Chain A
Amino acid sequence: MSFKIKALTKSIWVFHVSAGSCNNCDIEILDCLTPRFDLERFGIQLIGSVRHADALLITGAMSKKSVPRMKKIYEQAPKPCVVIAVGTCACSQHMFKDSYNVDQPLDKILPVDLYIPGCPPKPEAMIAGIVKLVTKLREKI
């Protein structure tokens, strides 16, 4: 397992899931990939299939419709797979706590490794979060 984690921290391939988000966090995630921040220079890139993913990046307040689909996606991800909650909605349901269409926060459904709060979080905050996560994972090895 430790070899796999070591390999994972070298270049993180991220699968992005929007589970009922307002799109604002998703726009900031795209900003991370623009030339200004350029996360790809660290080997971090978005990919098209969860079966190739090292990390699952989730935005949104987990609407009831998305929960079973979210679980299916997580089952398909190769393990070890880190789960990153981006935005206050994914971290704590935010203003949708009492909504008719939301009942559980993300961390009751999947094991979350990294929380990046903010509405939306700045690209700098996401980069800082990822650096913390990679440092933590490397300590485990």
Chain B
Amino acid sequence: MRERIKEKLGPKIKEWHEHSARRIYFTVDKKDIFETVRFIFRELGMRFSTASGSDTPDSFEILYHFSNDSSGEFYSVRVFIEDKANPEIDSITPLFPGAEWIEREIWEMLGIKFKGHPNLKRLLLADEWPEGEYPLRHKNES
């Protein structure tokens, strides 16, 4: 499986890290994320587990976790979004609806805009929560 990924994505992979035999992380550019996810999901047939977003000092980081159920391996695709003032990334919801809610959650918690998301509206926060306030950004730490 890793050969097929390396062969297909080739130079798009910026960094490859094997944390253990079954836990693999690799970084791609944010403009390549849709194509990468499409390849892993459609062609390799891996299951989308979830995505996780975090606020790091230099950028926002999103990890898309994919499980290869036949071998028990976990592949996490890492993306950095450097533009912290106006973070944007392509939505992967058009590929599979399972990503819709997690993208909505990342959007409301971190303020990362998903381009092409069909239904980007509030999911978990209260109805009267102020617009433009993102609770999981570091400046809101108490």
Q: Spell out A's residues near B (CB within 8 Å).
A: 63-65, 67-68, 98, 100-101
How far, in angstroms, from A63 to B142 measured CA to CA in the complex? 18
Q: Point out the residues of chain A lying under 8 angstroms from B127, CB to CB.
A: 65, 68
Cβ-Cβ contact count across A and B, 8 Å cutoff = 19
Q: Are B129 and A64 in contact, CB atoms less than 8 angstroms apart? A: yes
Bits for B57-79, please: 1 = Cβ < 8 Å to A, else 0.
00000000000000000000000
| B-side contacts of A63, CB under 8 Å | 124, 126
Residues of A within 8 A of B124 (CB): 63, 65, 101
Convert B101-142 into 0s and 1s, putting 1 for each residue whose CB lies closer than 8 angstroms to a CB of A. Answer: 000000000000000000000001111010000010000101
Determine the chain B residues whose CB is within 8 A of the CB of A101 once the complex forms: 124-126, 135
User: What are 19 A-B contacts defined by CB distance under 8 Å?
Assistant: A63-B124, A63-B126, A64-B125, A64-B126, A64-B129, A65-B124, A65-B125, A65-B126, A65-B127, A67-B126, A68-B127, A98-B142, A100-B135, A100-B140, A100-B142, A101-B124, A101-B125, A101-B126, A101-B135
Chain B residues near A68 (CB-CB < 8 A): 127
**A65 surroundings in chain B (CB, below 8 A):** 124-127
Bound CA span A63–B123, Å = 13
A98 to B142, CA, bound (A): 8
Neighbouring A residues of B129 by C-beta, 8 Å: 64
How distant is the Cα of A47 from the Cα of B135 in the complex, in angstroms? 36
